[in-house]
Amino acid sequence: MKRLGKAFLTGLLLAIAGTCFVYTPYGQRVEEEFGLSLLFKLRGPRQPPEKAVIVNIDSISPGNPELSGSFGKLPRTVHAALVDRLTQYGAAVIAFDIYFAETANRDQDTTFAEAIRRAGNVILVEDLRHAPAMPATGPTGRGAGPAGNVEMEILVPPIQPLADAAFALVPFPLPKIPIRVNQSWRFKESCGDMPTLPAAVFQAATLSHYDRLHALLRQKVPDNIYDLPASAEEAMATLGLVETMRKIRRVFLRNEKLREELLAENRSARVSGPSAGQDLLTLINMYGGESRVVIDFYGPPATCTTLSYHDVLSPPEDTHDSIAEKIRNKVVFVGAARMHWSNQKDGFYTVYSRPDGLDLSGVELAATVFANLVENRSVHPLSAGKTIGLIGFCALAACLLSFLLSPPLAAALLLAGIGVYLFGASAVFSQSGTWTPLITPIVLVPASGFLIATFINYLATHRERRNIHTALGFYLPGSVVEELTHDLSFITTGDRKMYSVCVMTDAQHYTTLSERMEPEELSIHMKAYYQYLFREVKRNGGMVCNVIGDSMLALWPSAEPETSLCRKACQASLQMVEAVERFNGKYPGRSLPTRIGIHAGYLLMDNIGAEDHFEYAPVGDIVNTASRIEGLNKHLGTRILASEETLRGVAGIRYREIGTFLLGGKTRPVGIYELLAEKEYSAEWNRLYKEVFPEAVWLFRQGLWHKALAVFDHCLTVHAEDGPTRFYKQLCESYLVTPPAADRQEIIRVDK
């Protein structure tokens, strides 16, 4: 549940961040530069409508010397002949994407102008130039400071004879963001809503729908069209094409809902004829839509139907009417559409620019934008609501997969999901031109979600591993925990033989307490008790190996015998006795007097168990011997007993020899010593444990039971509660009644 909550929270945050990013200028630029390009590549080229035809100015036209060389130096009479031939073939509109800025030859210019006038449907481009920014002066009169800079755009028409003869003059600017052309203006707002070449050409080609459009506007907004002629003939005669389009555009701009209302009411206009209805809807969309639209490219250079000057100007009998059929009732764009990059001067970098450097030419872009209008289609972004929903879904799905599944599986499913998303986005783009965002929902959001989830899961796993490591440290030695966390085969291969000092403890009165106390209360009490013991073990460099009920086993391991470890174990034992006294003072009535046994030797640290249960524990005789030594405290009335092997070579520890004992279940006797606390003793006590008690033990070993008994009685007069003395006194009395065998005089057998 914790991971699920993290997944939902991270998904929500990513959805918010992704939505904010996709609507920033930088986010939109990223989607346009990379996402839109990918959609075009996934869709591939598509067939443009036949309504648009390009006539290309060839660099070399075989058989016609006049058409050779640079198109800028082409005689204007050739253009005139082209216009006449296109008119002869029935071209609906002729649009020149060539700026005729200079007078070449007056006679040729006149011939060309007359051909344009005869055709009556030729649209020429004019140049749109940016003038230097001029400071604007405030309206306060003399002395007013600059109020800002004014950006100026100037329309420069072609030479006068051609400008006067043309049906319309319009610019064709193209925005490059930052260097690639993705969009086109239909109306240039900075030029007073001036229509651009594709929009003007489309309106010229659909003038037959002007009267119907005017009637719709008169029905909806009669007060806004008082200065707009009712018929196309009157509009062209009085206002001209460009001014008429500007007025219609402003009517739509002043009435924001006009476009939606007209579209809703006139979708049935297609009933009178699919083409007529489509054109009317396109006009409504064009005038009421955005000034700048994303171009729906059809493919690489030469995708649109392209003819050459040579093809069109060839004698009709040589073309078998094929050229005429391609031109009849079509809109013809005339310009330079080069077929090789080396002589291309009017190229624009687009998504379909070829690897060899050939770009789409200006005339091809004009024809493409016009073809989009013919189809009433442009690339339009997905609606804001759907975009937010998609980003939210992708963020949530990516986070759920990344948080709840393993990284390899999550990555595989994310890649599969990205593939499905791309397929769907490509299908929608191909069908309707809907531009679904790609980079944010299937790159940035999933990658961020995957990385965040991986990092958070890593932290959680690291935290869990640390917790497990810490938890195991309460049950196993630190070195074993390290081994297990790196390699579980240590369970079956981790046996190690080593030297160790074993300290075994046992708490008196535990059984009585367990009967009197509730299990929960007893557990709390024992935890407090062991806290006192563990602290002293760790303080002296030991490790707690095992705890069972009221017993603890602590080890001081090493590769070889070390007297320093024996000394530390003895010090820890003495300090544990003192700690237990403090504990018992804190909990009167619940005291746990503790006995300790110490032994040293070699043992095997082994994983004991089988199948699905193992315990890491020491295996060897010294553990059993330490337990027997601890149990000997009951007979001797002592607190800490250590074997001779433990104290061999150890300095700085006070102890006294107790004797040699054959412990229960053992075959070899063990020399036993009692550890004495480091405190001030009376002179008489010092003499007792240094001289008198050892003398009594020596007499006992010699079989002199009467003498030994007398000395032990003397010891009791000094320290009546001395456990070892009382033990020997009772033993002497027993031996006086029933003497032991000769071989048992020095060795005391203890069965339990």
Position 636 pLDDT exceeds 70? yes
CA distance 631 to 302: 103
**pLDDT value of position 201:** 97
pLDDT, mean of residues 21-44 = 91
CA distance 306 to 53: 6
**Which two structure tokens, joined as six digits, stand for 27?**
């986010």
**pLDDT value of position 141:** 42
Model confidence over 532-543: pLDDT tens digits? Answer: 999 999 999 998
Tell me which of 111 and 136 has the higher pLDDT: 111
**pLDDT value of position 337:** 81
- Kind of pairing between the strands at 122-125 and 168-170: parallel
Position 501 pLDDT exceeds 60? yes
**pLDDT value of position 310:** 86
Q: Tell me what the pLDDT averaged over the chain comes to.
A: 86
**pLDDT value of position 254:** 92
The H or E element that residue 439 is part of is: helix 439-439
Return the minimum-mean-pLDDT range out of 161-175, 317-331, 579-593, 658-672: 317-331
Position 611 pLDDT exceeds 90? no
pTM: 0.67
**pLDDT value of position 171:** 95
| Cα angle for residues 117, 118, 120 (degrees, 5° grid) | 65
Tell me which of 740 and 397 has the higher pLDDT: 397
Q: Give, rounded to a whole angstrom, the gap between the first and last alpha carbons of the chain.
A: 56
**pLDDT value of position 71:** 56
According to DSSP, the residues that pair with 155 across neighbouring strands are 128
- Binned at pLDDT 50, 70 and 90, residue 140 comes out as very low
**pLDDT value of position 156:** 93
Model confidence over 476-493: pLDDT tens digits? Answer: 566 655 655 555 554 555
pLDDT, mean of residues 168-192 = 87
Domains delineated in the chain: 2-43+383-464 (no CATH), 50-134+148-182+298-374 (no CATH), 206-294 (no CATH), 485-679 (3.30.70.1230), 684-746 (no CATH)
- Binned at pLDDT 50, 70 and 90, residue 549 comes out as confident
The per-residue DSSP string of 306-327 comes to EEEHHHHHS-HHHHTTHHHHHH
**pLDDT value of position 194:** 95
Q: Does residue 97 contact residue 333 with C-beta atoms inside 8 Å?
A: yes
**pLDDT value of position 298:** 93
CA distance 657 to 708: 16
What share of the chain has pLDDT > 90, as a percent?
Answer: 57
**pLDDT value of position 615:** 67
**pLDDT value of position 375:** 92
Tell me which of 317 and 129 has the higher pLDDT: 129
User: With helix as H, strand as E and coil as C, how does 610-669 read?
Assistant: ECCEEEEEEECHHHHHHHHHHHHHHHHCCCEEEEHHHHCCCCCCCEEEEEEEECCCCCCC
CA distance 491 to 478: 15
Return the minimum-mean-pLDDT range out of 208-217, 390-399, 442-451, 612-621: 612-621
Tell me which of 600 and 145 has the higher pLDDT: 600
Position 438 pLDDT exceeds 90? yes
Model confidence over 243-291: pLDDT tens digits? Answer: 999 999 999 999 989 999 898 887 654 444 455 678 999 999 999 999 9
Residues in contact with 618: Cβ distance below 8 Å, sequence separation at least 6, in sequence order = 500, 502, 545, 553, 555, 603, 604, 605, 606
CA distance 89 to 319: 12
pLDDT, mean of residues 385-410 = 93
Residue whose C-alpha is closest to residue 123's, from 198, 56, 211, 207: 198
Q: What is the DSSP letter of 342?
A: G
- Binned at pLDDT 50, 70 and 90, residue 142 comes out as very low
Position 598 pLDDT exceeds 60? yes
Position 2 pLDDT exceeds 90? no
- Binned at pLDDT 50, 70 and 90, residue 22 comes out as very high
- Binned at pLDDT 50, 70 and 90, residue 466 comes out as confident
3-state helix, strand, coil in the chain (%, to 5): 55, 20, 30
- Binned at pLDDT 50, 70 and 90, residue 638 comes out as very high
Position 42 pLDDT exceeds 50? yes
pLDDT, mean of residues 389-396 = 94
